[in-house]
Amino acid sequence: MERTFFAIKPDGVGRGLVGEVIARLERKGLRLIGLKLMQVTPQLAQQHYAAHSEKPFFQGLVSFITSGPIVATVWEGREAVSVVRGLMGATDPVKSAPGTLRGDYGLSISSNLVHGSDGPEAAEREISLFFRPDELVGASRPEETWIYAGE
């Protein structure tokens, strides 16, 4: 099973969308194995967005992610990274398909509700930034028999 990091950003938390967002990922069949409500520090934000440090929008990313609490999560499942990316929709919510999180709930590219790892390596790095190994708890669910039937 693959793991991925997924965060509900300050705008999603502030708008009261946490339950809806988590429910969508659970209904897809992913397993929630880590969850915390937290305030991101500027130092953590800079580490998290290090790949964008030379880009003109870097400071905006750091300012936004530290502007309010986030819900940091870790999900597990078959091709979890690509499944979560599909559920999120395009970075620009205006270009996101209806039925995606950003397509249904977003209008702003700078306040686009959620973040998800863009690959397995990024997922490992991001999970280790936000969670200690002992904070991840996994247990199979009975319905996984049907979710992964034939695998």
- Each residue's pLDDT tens digit, 56-71: 999 999 999 999 999 9
All structural domains of the chain, each given as residue ranges with its CATH number in brackets, are 2-135 (3.30.70.141)
The dihedral of CA 110, 114, 118, 123: what is its sign? Answer: positive
pLDDT band at 138 (very low <50, low <70, confident <90, very high): confident
The catalytically annotated residue of 21, 101, 115, 123 is 115
Whether 115 is catalytic is yes
* The pLDDT of residue 148: 67
Q: How far, in Å, CA of 32 to CA of 30, rounded? A: 7
pTM, two decimals, is 0.91
* DSSP string of 19-52, one letter each residue: HHHHHHHHHHT-EEEEEEEEPPPHHHHHHHTGGG
- Is the per-residue pLDDT at 145 higher than 70? no
Rounded to an integer, what is the distance from CA 121 to the centroid of its chain?
Answer: 15
pLDDT digits (tens, 9 = 90+) for 74-85: 999 999 999 999
Confidence of residue 146 (pLDDT cuts 50, 70, 90): low
Mean pLDDT of 21-49: 97
CA distances from 151 to 1, 15, 55, 93, 127 (A): 12, 38, 42, 33, 26
Q: Is pLDDT at 140 greater than 70 in this prediction? A: no
